């Protein structure tokens, strides 16, 4: 049935009532005082509190107020002597779920406890649904209804409330930073710390260590004062390292040590400082290949890649293209003060047929441009960029445009392999999967092609 805690100063009564409830399928335990019950840490598996009102010292009304204040999801049923119903009314006003009168009638009590248990379960379901809705709306900047995006939302919902390190992969412009922000905003650190983002590719190599760990005064030329690093700025919150593959190989052991020990040493300082960050990383590179090539440490790779989240490219999201385009249209129409209301059918077809190598970022730019240029309430094909307006489906030519060109099969294989690698943005693991090759085999072939070019 459920777990019920009985509170009454009469031990014999508690033992008899607990035995009767156990015979009816309840998991019953008891306390012989409200003060003792208030001192208990009520577990999440407790379903109902059944308490007497009149007890020496702390009474049942105080217990009722305490449970309502600390564990409002647990219903309290009060027991009161017949003819003393004003106390029961006071308990109801204090938040009690229901009351029963003494002497206790076993069947009536069982029915009351069953109703209280259903109330407890319903309250928990409402709480879970409310949390699910709040969690879903929290991803409102990540827009999409396609299966790849629904899978992404499901993964985010499961990972957001944890503290694990996450590696976010995907093509440039696909929305990796939005994913990182969503993980922070729905995680346990959203209220206690900040979200600090840095693009590792945008920092000169000689300044990366100082940027991450800080530096002491006089540590190098122009270091006129001490400065905190991003690890310290993000302490208590989330640190997002975008383009993590660009971190210099020589600095990677220090980054690994900072993550494992939770301490950083600023450049030029002899003191270590404690930090507490949740690390999120992103890359559009193939880190598996980088590890095999010795450009990225394997131990650091495993440390930052506890969970990997792949952000789908826009070309694989079907109708999400038009959903996103509509959102961008509404935003830029309002921002630019233009009465633009939609797209023509021809424009919609162009948007759906374009491959969007720049992903969501390219689509946003396209719509912003179209809204700025259009002279009508509806975006026309002439308002689109030329490469989208004039784009047409083309076949892959592997043997050259000259029909008289006859080449060895190895040349055709090289051209097709290069085509697939380029099509997936250089992601060798994905390219190997498409080609049906082992990743090491693909790596050897690409190395062979590069060596031939250099010779």
CB atoms within 10 A of CB 132: 11
Q: Tokens 């699910």 map to which residue?
A: 132
For position 354, what pLDDT does the model report?
Answer: 87
Let me know whether 164 and 281 are in one domain: yes
Let me know whether 297 and 187 are in one domain: yes
What residues have CB less than 8 Å from 129, skipping those under 6 apart? none
Q: Which helix (H) or strand (E) holds 239?
A: strand 238-242
pLDDT per residue as tens digits for the range 414-443: 888 887 777 666 777 777 877 888 888 888
Let me know whether 84 and 34 are in one domain: yes
The verdict on residue 135 lying in a domain is: no
The verdict on residue 334 lying in a domain is: yes
The verdict on residue 203 lying in a domain is: yes
Q: Which pair of tokens denotes residue 73?
A: 């999801």
The verdict on residue 240 lying in a domain is: yes
Torsion sign over Cα 196, 201, 203, 205? positive
Helices of type H across 207-319: 208-213, 230-233, 252-261, 287-292, 298-304
Let me know whether 268 and 178 are in one domain: yes
- Cα distances (angstroms) measured from residue 16 to each of 22, 29, 445, 446: 10, 11, 80, 80
Q: Which 8-state DSSP code applies to residue 125? A: H
What CATH number does the domain containing 248 carry? 3.40.50.300
- Cα distances (angstroms) measured from residue 259 to each of 236, 264, 301: 14, 9, 12
The verdict on residue 302 lying in a domain is: yes
Strand partners of residue 309: 168
Strand partners of residue 379: 343
Q: Does the bond joining 103 to the residue before it have cis omega, within 30 degrees of 0?
A: yes
**Final residue before a domain boundary, out of 276, 310, 344:** 310
DSSP per position, 136-199: HHTTTTS---SHHHHHHHHHHHHHTTS---EEEE--TTS-HHHHHHHHHHTSTTTTTS-EEEEE
Let me know whether 122 and 16 are in one domain: yes
In sequence order, what E strands does 262-305 have? 263-264, 273-274, 278-283
- How many angstroms separate the CA atoms of 140 and 128, rounded? 19
What CATH number does the domain containing 448 carry? 1.10.10.60
To the nearest whole percent, how much of the chain has pLDDT over 70? 89
Which residues constitute the domain of residue 353? 315-389
pTM of the model: 0.59
Strand partners of residue 343: 379
What residues have CB less than 8 Å from 170, skipping those under 6 apart? 176, 282, 284, 310, 311, 312, 313
Let me know whether 249 and 322 are in one domain: no
What CATH number does the domain containing 96 carry? 3.40.50.2300
For position 397, what pLDDT does the model report?
Answer: 46
**Final residue before a domain boundary, out of 293, 310, 327:** 310
For position 89, what pLDDT does the model report?
Answer: 82
For position 128, what pLDDT does the model report?
Answer: 60
For position 391, what pLDDT does the model report?
Answer: 64
Let me know whether 108 and 184 are in one domain: no
Let me know whether 178 and 208 are in one domain: yes
What CATH number does the domain containing 374 carry? 1.10.8.60
Let me know whether 328 and 251 are in one domain: no
Q: Measure CA 257 to chain center.
A: 25
- Name the 3-class secondary structure at 295: coil
Let me know whether 169 and 253 are in one domain: yes
The verdict on residue 356 lying in a domain is: yes
Q: Which pair of tokens denotes residue 337?
A: 């003060």
Are 62 and 38 contacting, i.e. CB atoms less than 8 angstroms apart?
yes
The verdict on residue 423 lying in a domain is: yes
Let me know whether 345 and 268 are in one domain: no
Residue segments in the chain with a per-residue pLDDT below the cut of 50: 132-138, 393-397, 401-404
What residues have CB less than 8 Å from 269, skipping those under 6 apart? 214, 215, 216, 219, 226
Let me know whether 161 and 299 are in one domain: yes
The verdict on residue 140 lying in a domain is: no
Domains in the chain, number: 4
């Amino acid at each position: 049935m459920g777990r019920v805690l009985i509170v009454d100063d009469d031990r014999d009564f508690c033992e008899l009532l607990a035995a009767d409830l156990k015979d009816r399928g309840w998991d019953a335990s008891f306390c012989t005082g409200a003060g003792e019950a208030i001192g208990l840490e009520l577990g999440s598996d407790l379903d109902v509190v059944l308490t007497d009102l009149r007890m020496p010292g702390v009474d049942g009304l105080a217990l009722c107020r305490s449970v309502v204040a600390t564990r409002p999801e647990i219903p309290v049923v009060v027991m009161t002597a017949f003819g003393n119903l004003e106390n029961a009314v006071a308990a109801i006003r204090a938040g009690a779920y229901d009351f029963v009168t003494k002497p206790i009638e076993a069947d009536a009590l069982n029915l009351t406890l069953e109703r209280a248990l259903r109330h407890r379960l319903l309250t928990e379901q409402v709480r879970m649904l409310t949390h699910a809705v709040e969690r879903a709306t929290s991803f409102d900047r990540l827009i999409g209804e396609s299966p790849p995006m629904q899978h992404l939302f499901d993964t985010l919902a499961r990972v957001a409330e944890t503290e694990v390190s996450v590696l976010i992969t995907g093509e440039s412009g696909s929305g990796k930073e939005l994913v990182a922000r969503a993980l922070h905003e729905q995680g346990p650190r959203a209220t206690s710390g900040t979200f600090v983002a840095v693009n590792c590719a945008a920092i000169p190599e000689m300044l990366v260590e100082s940027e991450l760990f800080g530096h002491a005064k006089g540590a190098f030329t122009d270091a006129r004062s001490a400065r905190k690093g991003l690890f310290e700025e993000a302490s208590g919150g989330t640190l997002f390292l975008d383009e993590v593959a660009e971190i210099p190989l020589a600095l990677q052991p220090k980054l690994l040590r900072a993550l494992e020990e939770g301490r950083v040493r600023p450049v030029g300082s002899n003191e270590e400082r404690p930090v507490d960050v949740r690390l999120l990383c992103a890359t559009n590179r193939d880190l598996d290949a980088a590890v095999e090539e010795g450009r990225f440490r394997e131990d650091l790779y495993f440390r930052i890649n506890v969970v990997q989240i792949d952000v789908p490219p826009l070309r694989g999201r079907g109708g999400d293209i038009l959903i996103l385009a509509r959102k961008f249209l509404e935003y830029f129409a309002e921002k630019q003060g233009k009465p633009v209301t939609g797209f023509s059918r021809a424009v919609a077809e162009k948007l759906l047929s374009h491959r969007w190598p720049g992903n969501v970022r390219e689509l946003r730019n396209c719509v912003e441009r179209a809204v700025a240029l259009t002279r009508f309430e509806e975006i026309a094909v002439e308002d689109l960029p030329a490469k989208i307006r004039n784009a047409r489906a083309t076949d892959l030519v592997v043997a050259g445009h000259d029909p008289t060109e006859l080449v060895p099969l190895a040349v055709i294989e090289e051209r097709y392999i290069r085509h697939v690698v380029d099509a997936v943005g250089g992601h060798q693991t994905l390219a190997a999967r498409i080609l049906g090759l082992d990743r090491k085999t693909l790596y050897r072939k690409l190395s062979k092609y590069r060596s031939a070019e250099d010779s």
